[in-house]
C-alpha cells in the first residue's frame, strides 16, 4: 500500500506543474493585481475536498483526528511561513514542483525547508516547537463547536466558490483568448480544472494513507522532514506513505515539465540563493509551528473546517501581503544578469549602480544596464528600443513574479499603441502576463515558446480598449 503514496504523488506533481498551481502566486496576485481569480482555484480544492471528506467520514471510511487549536504556534507559524514563501518564490508544494522544472534556487529552498522542518519536529528546535504549543484552547472544528454536520459548511463553501468561479469565467469569456499554439499535451491546465483534480486526489489520498497507518491526507511539511530524516539516518520509520508522496510529486512534475518543454536548469545568483535559503529555513520553521503548510493547513485542515486550518491560512495570507510590500518591487533600471543565471537582485539595486552592458541572447543584443537613448528618441529605462514604437524587455532569469512586475513598470513608460516585447523563462508568467494584459486593456500581438522554458510575448499598450 505504500506504493499508492508514490502514485498519488506523481499525479499531484503533474497536475500542479501543468496547472502552475502555487498558493503563493494566488495570494500574491490578490495584492499585486487586485484580482481574486487565482485564489478561487484554492477554494475549489478546499470545496471538493470538504465534500469528499464529509462523505467519507459519514460513511465511516475514514475517522480523522481533529487537531486542537494552539493559537500562538498557529498565528506566529502562519505569518512566518507567509513571509518566507515570498522570499523562497513559492509555497511548499510549489517549491517541490519548481525544483522539478530545473530552478536551482528552489533546490536550495527545498533543502533548507526540509532541514529546518526536521529540526523542528525531531531535532534541536523541537523544544521551541513544544514551548510554542503549550497554549492550547482545546477547540477543534467549527462543526463540533456549533454542533452541526460538516455537510452544512461544505455545501455553503461550495456554493460560494461556484459563484466566484462562474463570475471570473464569465468575465474571461468576453476577453480575447491568448494562448500558445501547442499540441494538447503541452497545453497548461486551467487552474480551476487543476484545483478540482487536486481536490479529488486529496479525497482519494486519505483512505489510501490511512490504510498504511497514517491517518491523514495530503501533506508536504512532515513528509519533507521525514525525507530528510530518512536520508540522514536511514531509519525505516521515516520511509512512509507521506515520504513517497513528496518524492512522487517531484517525479511527476519533472515528467510533466520535460514533456512540455518547460524543464531547463537555471542557476541563481548570490542574492537569489541567499533569499532562497532564508526563505526555505523560514518555511520549515513556520510550517512546523502552524501544523502544516498551504497543503496540510490550507487544503486539508480547512476542508475539515478546523480552527487551525482557517486561522493558519489567514495568517499565511497576511505574511504574503507583508512580504509582497517589502520585497516585490520593480527595479529602477534593468539590472545586469549573467548568461545562464536568474536574479531578483534588480529589485533592490538603485539606478546609480547600473552600467551599460550588452550581451547576446536569443539573437538579440540585450541591454542589461541603464540605457541612454538619443535625445531625438524617447528615453525608456526598462526596455530598449528595437524599432519605431517597439521596445524589448529582457527578464530572462528573473523568478516570478518579477517578469510581470517589470513588464507593468516598463509599459507605463510607453505611449498608447506602442509595443513591448517581453522575453521571460518563468513558467508561471505564461499565465500571469497574458492575464494582466487582458485585465488592463492591452492586446497581445504574438506569443511563442522559443526554447525550452523560454517564451516571448508582444504586448500592445491599450490597443484592446
CA proximity to 2, closest of 203, 202, 242: 242
Give yes or no for a contact between 409 and 382, defined as CB atoms under 8 angstroms apart.
yes
pLDDT of residue 356: 30
CB 429 within 8 A of CB 454: no
| R_g (Cα) of the chain, nearest Å | 22
Mean pLDDT, consecutive 10-residue stretches, the chain (465 aa), reads: 94 96 91 89 98 97 96 98 95 95 95 97 94 96 96 97 96 81 86 97 97 95 95 93 97 97 90 92 97 96 98 97 91 50 39 33 38 46 86 88 91 92 91 90 90 92 75
Rounded distance between C-alpha atoms, residue 249 and residue 9, angstroms: 4
Q: What pLDDT sits at residue 351?
A: 31
Residues paired with 360 in a beta bridge: 365
**What are the start-end ranges of the E strands in 181-324?**
267-268
For the chain, first and last CA: distance in Å?
56
Residue closest to 422 by CA, chosen among 447, 387, 388, 389: 447
Cβ atoms of residues 78 and 307 within 8 Å: no
Instruction: Decide if 400 is catalytic.
Output: yes
Q: What local confidence, expressed as pLDDT, does residue 79 receive?
A: 98
pLDDT on residue 203:
98
Q: Which one from 22, 293, 400, 426 is the annotated catalytic residue?
A: 400
Find all residues with CB under 8 Å of 117, minimum gap 6, and list them.
221, 222, 224, 225, 228, 283, 284, 285, 287, 288
Rounded CA gap, 149 and 211, in Å?
25
Instruction: Report the C-alpha gap between 435 and 444 in whole angstroms.
Output: 10
> Could you give the CA distance from residue 454 to residue 94 in angstroms, rounded to a whole number?
19
Per-residue pLDDT at 336: 42
Give the per-residue pLDDT at 175. Answer: 78
Task: Give CA–CA dist 78/92, Å, rounded.
Answer: 13
Architecture of domain 341-460: 2-Layer Sandwich (3.30)
Q: Within a 10 A sphere around the Cβ of 22, how many other Cβ atoms? A: 28
**Dist. CA 303–CA 55, nearest whole Å:** 12
CB-count burial class (<10 Å; 0-12, 13-18, 19+) for 124? exposed
Maximal CA-CA distance, the chain: 76
For residue 248, what pLDDT is reported? 97
| Cell representation of residue 332 | 529602477
Give the distance from CA 350 to its chain's centroid: 28
Q: What is the DSSP string of 323-373?
A: HHHHH----SSPPP--TTEE--GGGT--GGG----EEEETTEEEE-S----
Query: Where exactly are the structural domains of the chain?
Result: 2-327, 341-460
Model pLDDT, residue 463: 75
Closest CA to 86 of 227, 286, 361, 266: 286
**Closest among 21, 88, 452 to 263, alpha carbons compared:** 452
Amino acid at each position: 500500500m505504500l506504493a499508492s503514496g508514490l502514485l498519488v504523488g506523481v499525479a499531484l506533481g503533474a497536475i500542479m506543474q501543468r496547472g502552475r498551481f502555487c498558493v503563493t502566486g494566488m495570494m500574491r496576485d490578490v495584492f499585486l493585481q487586485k484580482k481574486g481569480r487565482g485564489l478561487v482555484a484554492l477554494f475549489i480544492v478546499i470545496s471538493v475536498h470538504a465534500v469528499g471528506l464529509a462523505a467519507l467520514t459519514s460513511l465511516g471510511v475514514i475517522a480523522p483526528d481533529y487537531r486542537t487549536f494552539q493559537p500562538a504556534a498557529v498565528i506566529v507559524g502562519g505569518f512566518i511561513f507567509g513571509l518566507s514563501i515570498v522570499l523562497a518564490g513559492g509555497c511548499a508544494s510549489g517549491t517541490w514542483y519548481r525544483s522539478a522544472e530545473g530552478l536551482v534556487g528552489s533546490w536550495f529552498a527545498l533543502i533548507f525547508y526540509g532541514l529546518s522542518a526536521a529540526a523542528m519536529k525531531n531535532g534541536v528546535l523541537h523544544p521551541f516547537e513544544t514551548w510554542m504549543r503549550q497554549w492550547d484552547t482545546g477547540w477543534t472544528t467549527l462543526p463540533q463547536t456549533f454542533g452541526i454536520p460538516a455537510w452544512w459548511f461544505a455545501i455553503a463553501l461550495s456554493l460560494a466558490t461556484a459563484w466566484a468561479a462562474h463570475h471570473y469565467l464569465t468575465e474571461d469569456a468576453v476577453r480575447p483568448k491568448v494562448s500558445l499554439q501547442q499540441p494538447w499535451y503541452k497545453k497548461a491546465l486551467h487552474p480551476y480544472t487543476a484545483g478540482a483534480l487536486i481536490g479529488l486526489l486529496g479525497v482519494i489520498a486519505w483512505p489510501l494513507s490511512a490504510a498504511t497507518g497514517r491517518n491523514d491526507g495530503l501533506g508536504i511539511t512532515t513528509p519533507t522532514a521525514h525525507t530528510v530524516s530518512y536520508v540522514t539516518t536511514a531509519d525505516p520509520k521515516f520511509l512512509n506513505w507521506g515520504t513517497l508522496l513528496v518524492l512522487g510529486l517531484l517525479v511527476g512534475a519533472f515528467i510533466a515539465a520535460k514533456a512540455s518543454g518547460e524543464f531547463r536548469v537555471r542557476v541563481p545568483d548570490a542574492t537569489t540563493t541567499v533569499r532562497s535559503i532564508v526563505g526555505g529555513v523560514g518555511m520549515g520553521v513556520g510550517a512546523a509551528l502552524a501544523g502544516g503548510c498551504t497543503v496540510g493547513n490550507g487544503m486539508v485542515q480547512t476542508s475539515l473546517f478546523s480552527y487551525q486550518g482557517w486561522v493558519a491560512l489567514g495568517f499565511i495570507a497576511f505574511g504574503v501581503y507583508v512580504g509582497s510590500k517589502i520585497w516585490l518591487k520593480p527595479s529602477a533600471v534593468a539590472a545586469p544578469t549573467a548568461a545562464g543565471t536568474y536574479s531578483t537582485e534588480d529589485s533592490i539595486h538603485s539606478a546609480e549602480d547600473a552600467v551599460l552592458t550588452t550581451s547576446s541572447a536569443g539573437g538579440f543584443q540585450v541591454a542589461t544596464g541603464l540605457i541612454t537613448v538619443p535625445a531625438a528618441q524617447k528615453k525608456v529605462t526598462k526596455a530598449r528600443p528595437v524599432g519605431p514604437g517597439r521596445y524589448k524587455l529582457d527578464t530572462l532569469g528573473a523568478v516570478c513574479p518579477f517578469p510581470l512586475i517589470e513588464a507593468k513598470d516598463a509599459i507605463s513608460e510607453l505611449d498608447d499603441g506602442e509595443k513591448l516585447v517581453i522575453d521571460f523563462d518563468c513558467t508561471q508568467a505564461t499565465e500571469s502576463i497574458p492575464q494582466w494584459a487582458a485585465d488592463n486593456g492591452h492586446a497581445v500581438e504574438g506569443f511563442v515558446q522559443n526554447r525550452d522554458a523560454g517564451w516571448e510575448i508582444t504586448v500592445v499598450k491599450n490597443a484592446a480598449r
